[in-house]
Structure 1
Amino acid sequence: MHSIIVVPMYSTRPDDHIQLDPGDSLLFGRTARARGPHLVIAHEGVSREAGEITAAGAYWRLSNLSSAQTYVVENPEGAGEHLKVPPGRLDAPVPFEFSRVVLPAGSELLTFDVWAPRHDYLDRPGPRDGAPTASAFPLDRGKRYFQVLVALCAARLREPHAPLPTAEELVERLRPLWPSVSRASVAWNIDYLAVKLRLKPAPDTTPAGGPRLNGKKERLVSLALRFDLVREDDLALLSEKAEAGR
């Protein structure tokens, strides 16, 4: 699995994502470099070389190459959780699985997302020799995406041949726990689950919400139930009481 995935602003397709392996770096700014990967942010308020992202296994580091602007890295799933990276700060570690990098640009705030879907686990107690074991299915049951996966699987946990919920049904099922949920946020989480669980891309490019999204849901549910990634007791996560406990 790629260590870090950068999702440019206004990205609508997985083909737009920039994938970084451990040790890889990605410069971002107003102008592209002649060689090497670069995330172009075409705005006059962004420095020509604004910053650099470096993948470091299960997390990433951010260097602020601006001379005047502080950057903010938000955790979209946190309760306002964020960190500041002041001008000139190099290799600030970012611990969030989901991150939104916010760049001040004139009168606007520009953003792009960074995902860190890789989780490593110790496979036995005691001294560690060699690289840690990468998890086959690195899911965090405390995240919104896992609630979306449980909601997707709920009907088939009870009836193996039940139809999968539509996007509207998923929104209604999740709204008591997640008041701001929308079709777009559900689709985003389904896309992220496909990355986490390393599903191969669908062979067609049908617009979002059509057969391609439905096929992705079908493959996610099939994989989750085959390997017991979602179990009957996980349905408790869809109750308002469970959300209050979180």
Structure 2
Amino acid sequence: MYSIIVVPPPTTEDENHRTQIRMAPGERLSFGRSDSGNDLAIAHEGVSRRAGEITAQGAFWILSNLSREQTYVVENPEGAGEHIKVGPGRLDAPVPFEFSRIVLPAAGDLLAIQVWAPRHDYRSADGLDGATTAPAFSVDRTKRYFAVLAALCEPRLRGEPHAALPTVDQVVDRLRPNWPAASRTSVQWNIDYLAVKLRLKPGPEEADTGPRLNGKKESLVSLALRFDLVREDDLVVLTEPVPRRVAR
């Protein structure tokens, strides 16, 4: 069964009907300018004769840069600027993105090879004895505190990785259509509760205000996005009525 799909750069002939190359685990795909010795020929004078090699693994892939001088960039189109660099001569660099774009600098042009890794493998818990492992972060997506957290994360989840975080007043305005009773006090209470719940501060008795509150919001958003506590799909909570209970 294939695990990797490679979509070559478009040409004038196939721009509207791009070829897809499907690879099974262990298969290799070499690419470069030369028709000879490459599985995928890229007809551009700025591409090395033997430019690189893609190797499919079970649920990810690795890239070898066979160029002597050019650094390749592998972008995550869904990661708001997330990317890795694969330097000249680097072999077997693992690529962790489900959707990727290899950018080849070629004599003033930037050529893109898309690589998709749709296969997801998960470990089955069948047959394991004993108590289950406690989750690292326990959040309830039906609670108001999660709607507050989603509102804080929204700008960066919308594709602006360095966007300024919304102010408390902006969070109130964002939530009020579905939470008419939202106020500065209730939103700040939920931010403070989140900081305790996610173990960013020892207890709610520490009343943070002013600039320290901004630092707390930054820490909350950084933690939530780093560990996928809030994903883009979760932003639907901002358009649904939130429960009446404030938190727990």
Using structure 1 for the length normalisation, give the TM-score: 0.50
Using structure 2 for the length normalisation, give the TM-score: 0.50
Structure showing greater Rg: 2
